[in-house]
Amino acid sequence: MSLASFRHGVHPAEHKDDSAGLPIERMPFVARYVLPLAQHGGKPAVAEVAVGQRVTRGSRIARADGFVSAALHAPVTGTIQALGLRRHPNGSQVPSIEIEADPYDPQSPPGGAAMDPGSLGPDAFVAAVQSGGIVGLGGAAFPAHVKYAVPADRPVHELVVNGCECEPYLTCDHRTMVERAADVVRGVRILARHLGVERSTIAVEANKPDAIAALQGVLRDVLAGDAGIAVVPLAVKYPQGAEKMLLKALSGREVPPGKLPLDLGFVVNNVGTMVALADWFDRRMPLIERVITVAGPGVERPANLVVPLGTPVGEVLDRCGLSRATREVVLGGPMMGQPLASLDAPVLKGTSGILAFTDAEVARPNEYTCLKCGRCLEACANLLNPSRLARLARAGRLDELERAYVMDCMECGACSFACPSHIPIVQLIRAAKSSLRDRKAKG
């Protein structure tokens, strides 16, 4: 049976075998945690603690600044060591809260009596999600409640939960679906009720049969199959997990340029976000930790780890063993992830993986002239013309780039992956988009 997918795309080697079968373990607590206030899309949180103050694990340490923002909570019990500039994974120095963990505290998980999401009206539900600090855990880290504040005139028909995890190496969502299938389904039910949808779909690439079986098992055994939730296997192709590609595969419909899934009646969320909802409403645990994959040829002991937010990347790599041959550490997947300038940078809410690469993967092959072979066009799931965008970007022709829909590029890197001339297409496009944004900001 052929599986649903989208047009174009690429098939990078999966590299998931080293970690896909490894159960999620817990990262031991370390001495120091650094929490940048800019953890998520939108406005950074506002610190509401003072140096020397004792905080307990799960207590709020920063409030959301306006609607498109999320609260921040202490990942450990300890003392506020500093409020100041610290290194963000993107290389910049950003306002942060530093906590010294109490080495004598048992670091018991926070918790309390469950909050019944069904007792909350729509606004109260949205506010509750915001106060839990919950963001989309698929990588973009956009505050989750913003998607849940659906205007009355734009009804949602379907909730789509994204379990594709199409980036090579990453297996944190895979293990979450296998080991916490009941909580994934619980989160889906919480959110589906709020959105008022009768149909929800959990989409999983077909290379995760154990995850599909675990989710189907919960639906069959716990919910007797009548919860209006379907688990749909999709073809294995990159970037299947991109929202627009996911909707194209599931519904056959295109999200037009400049529009959102909501314009077609969909809300799309990641499987990890569903677990975060279940943890918050059922166990009163705000978003203070997340599952990440630590893998790549430079990692001696690959792992799927629950890591408290703010843990320095270097501490995680110490636990997993960093080979001396490592040349580059990337946060996220190899296609869209961010190379790290310093291992002092902390794990953030949006960190899905820590990958270590050696010379063999990092070597930049010589660039050749464009062969006009069209492979980048075949790769682009957004049906853009990447070779033209790269040419215009190199020439700094911003107006023409804008007219060629450069802002629709999701920076998935499929074009660069496909290019036999090794033209750094996505890097050129990324720089051009940044110039366009700067130009717009300056008016």
Residues that bind ligand SF4 (CB under 6 A): 370-376, 379-380, 382, 384, 386-387, 389, 409-415, 418-421, 423, 425-426, 429
Task: Confirm if 33 and 94 have CB atoms less than 8 A apart.
Answer: no
3-state helix, strand, coil in the chain (%, to 5): 30, 20, 45
State the minimum distance, in angstroms, from the CB of residue 304 to ligand SF4. 27
State the minimum distance, in angstroms, from the CB of residue 361 to ligand SF4. 19
Burial class (CB in 10 A: 0-12, 13-18, 19+), 269: buried
State the minimum distance, in angstroms, from the CB of residue 89 to ligand SF4. 21
State the minimum distance, in angstroms, from the CB of residue 141 to ligand SF4. 20
Residue keyed to tokens 């001396």:
324
Residue keyed to tokens 């893998």:
295
Residue 154 or 403: the one with the smaller Cβ distance to ligand SF4 is: 403
Which residues contact residue 357 at a Cβ distance below 8 angstroms, ignoring those fewer than 6 apart? 296, 297, 298, 326, 327, 328, 329, 330, 334
Count of other CB atoms within 10 angstroms of residue 216: 17
Task: Name the DSSP class of 391.
Answer: H
Residue 64 or 384: the one with the smaller Cβ distance to ligand SF4 is: 384
Residue 98 or 243: the one with the smaller Cβ distance to ligand SF4 is: 243
Residue keyed to tokens 């942060």:
96
Residue 31 or 371: the one with the smaller Cβ distance to ligand SF4 is: 371
Residue 139 or 413: the one with the smaller Cβ distance to ligand SF4 is: 413
Residue 371 or 395: the one with the smaller Cβ distance to ligand SF4 is: 371
State the minimum distance, in angstroms, from the CB of residue 35 to ligand SF4. 31
Q: How many CA atoms lie within 13 A of 132 on its CB side?
A: 31
State the minimum distance, in angstroms, from the CB of residue 158 to ligand SF4. 24
State the minimum distance, in angstroms, from the CB of residue 380 to ligand SF4. 3
How large is the angle between the packed helices 122-131 and 271-283, nearest 10 degrees? Answer: 100
Q: How far is CA 45 from CA 68, 74, 377, in A?
A: 10, 13, 40
Residue 13 or 50: the one with the smaller Cβ distance to ligand SF4 is: 13
Task: Confirm if 404 and 392 have CB atoms less than 8 A apart.
Answer: yes
State the minimum distance, in angstroms, from the CB of residue 392 to ligand SF4. 12
Q: Hey, is 176 helix, strand or coil?
A: helix
Residue 20 or 426: the one with the smaller Cβ distance to ligand SF4 is: 426
Among 442, 421, 433, 3, CA closest to 212: 3
